[in-house]
Amino acid sequence: MSQRQMHLGVYAVGSGNHIAGWRYPGATTSGENLEAFKQIAASCERGKLDFLFVGDSLAFLPGGHPGQVTRFEPTTLLSALSCTTTHVGLIGTASTTYSEPFSVARQFASLDHLSGGRAGWNVVTSTLPEAAENFGREMVDHDHRYEIAAEFVDVVQGLWDSWEDGARIENKETGQYYDLSKVHELGHKGQFYSVKGPLNITRTPQGRPVIVQAGSSPSGQALAGRIAEVVFTVQLELDVAREYYDNIKRYAVAAGRRPEHCNILPGMVPIVGRTDEEAQAKLAQLMTYVDSTSAMQTMSRRFGHDMSQYPLDGPVPDLPVSNLKQGYSTVASAKAKRLGYTLRDIYNEIAIARGYLLACGSPTTVADIMQEWFEGGALDGFVLLPAHFPEAFDDFIDLVIPELQKRGLFRKDYQGTTLREHLGLPKPENRFARARSEAQGDK
Ligand SMILES: Cc1cc2nc3c(=O)[nH]c(=O)nc-3n(C[C@H](O)[C@H](O)[C@H](O)COP(=O)(O)O)c2cc1C
């Protein structure tokens, strides 16, 4: 049997994932720099990564993480990158709270066509109250956002099925352009949406773009288990991560899915040097750039509460359940309790790694950490969050990837061209084609 291998993608942020990474010598500084993203995408393909991921939010938030202050709209950026790449998957974020299913279905179907089958949609419910104000809406409650999201995704997937393969015929001889028996109305009338369909774009190379999701709260996990083909998460301790992993896989199985079709990828910040000492020196240098206001804001966003009201040298407070975000607070509080951390310890970790797992050291040290978590049954791979670009990412690609390949833990070359192929996901069956063949079988 061939060895199980990791899936790896990068969280591409023009100004770096570290709060002050953009200040590192030689680092790109802006999230509105196409050349920088083209370079990140090229490094992904050099390292044979599964995907490049672009996050999003829908409000201007001064003073926080620079990567979240200004940025390109993800599907627009990924469409540009589809022209400069041939293999790497292109995953973008779109909100189920502030979009319409028809538009989202169309955007990602377009990206899937443009990229030859490399599109993925990161389904988010949006946590910022400021975003609600940009859409003239009230902030929707946390669990209610997930109920809306569940129906939203069902509609989008239904629309992606509304055209069967081979429905566009383009027969110059006969003049037949479509086979309309293979184009279907969806006729969806649900609790939140009413969508007739069909979509005005044909079935895409992947059948359906890949669904990605990141909720870690109980309702987020349930949705992830039901719909997500890739799950992003924050995990800080191996045994907690293992529990989370088992839980999501259980949800997936309960929803009638195969567990290996739901890839769980925690975020990891790699800081790589040729030696452990060199990596530690890079980390120390990064920390000299951190300004306390932006670190405090980032911590408050992670917890979904204003954390500046609590003493930094006291324990991590018991917090009421947030209406904004829940997953991180649970993971960080558990770690703090177990290790006797003060709030300042958590604050420092967030400044270093935005609250994600940190792997700092030589290529062997970083690969050892990744291998331990992977073989420890806690994950199917990682979303890499390099502190800055291009150097910190290229260090990973050029130093750690060969080490993982040597250990048989990561592919030496792409085996396919679509994101589904990279992730080991089958092309989904079209519900209308299946219904037809079942009806014919019944005859
Ligand atoms: C790796 C990763 C990437 C994420 N990217 C985004 C994003 O781009 N936009 C967004 O609004 N939320 C993003 N999130 C947040 C999640 O979608 C979710 O809102 C958050 O984890 C809180 O959900 P919970 O209350 O279910 O834990 C991301 C989370 C993780 C772990």
SS (H, E, C) 299-326: HHHHHCCCHHHCCCCCECCCCCCCCCCC
pLDDT at 34: 97
Could you tell me if residue 313 is inside a domain? no
Q: What's the CA-to-centroid distance between 408 and ligand 1, angstroms?
A: 31
Question: Strand, helix or coil at 230?
Answer: strand
Nearest-CA residue for ligand 1 atom 1 is: 232
Q: Go through 152-172 and write b for each residue having 16 or more CB atoms within 10 A of its CB, e for each that does not.
A: bbbbbbbbbbbbbeebeeeee
Q: Which region holds residue 27: left if phi is over 0, alpha if psi is between -120 and 50, else beta?
A: beta
User: Probe ligand 1: pick from 124, 230, 323, max atoms within 8 Å of CB?
Assistant: 124
Q: Specify the ligand 1 atom closest to the Cα of 267.
A: 1
Question: Strand, helix or coil at 124?
Answer: strand
Could you tell me if residue 341 is inside a domain? no
Three-state secondary structure string covering 50-115: CEEEECCCCCCCCCCCHHHCCCCCHHHHHHHHHCCCCCCEEEEEEECCCCCHHHHHHHHHHHHHHH
Nearest-CA residue for ligand 1 atom 16 is: 214
Nearest-CA residue for ligand 1 atom 14 is: 214
Q: Specify the ligand 1 atom closest to the Cα of 330.
A: 27
Length of the chain in terms of residues written: 443
pLDDT at 442: 64
Could you tell me if residue 285 is inside a domain? no
Could you tell me if residue 298 is inside a domain? no
The whole-angstrom separation of Cα 403 and Cα 113 is 34
Q: What's the CA-to-centroid distance between 215 and ligand 1, angstroms?
A: 6
Yes or no: say if 117 and 205 are a contact pair by the CB < 8 Å rule.
yes
Four-point Cα dihedral 213, 330, 218, 7, nearest 10: 30
Amino acid at 52: L
Could you tell me if residue 195 is inside a domain? yes
**pTM summary value:** 0.94
Could you tell me if residue 328 is inside a domain? no
pLDDT at 1: 47
Question: pLDDT digit string (tens) for 117-137?
Answer: 999 999 999 888 899 999 999
Q: Specify the ligand 1 atom closest to the Cα of 325.
A: 25
Could you tell me if residue 51 is inside a domain? yes
Range of the domain at 131: 7-277+355-442
CATH of the domain at 30: 3.20.20.30
pLDDT at 199: 98
Overall number of domains in the chain? 1
List, chain by chain if needed, residues with CB within 6 Å of any ligand 1 atom: 55-57, 93, 122, 124-127, 214-217, 220, 232-234, 267, 325-327, 383
Can you list the residues of the chain whose pLDDT is less than 70? Answer: 1-2, 442-443
pLDDT at 383: 98
Q: What's the CA-to-centroid distance between 110 and ligand 1, angstroms?
A: 24
The whole-angstrom separation of Cα 107 and Cα 130 is 24
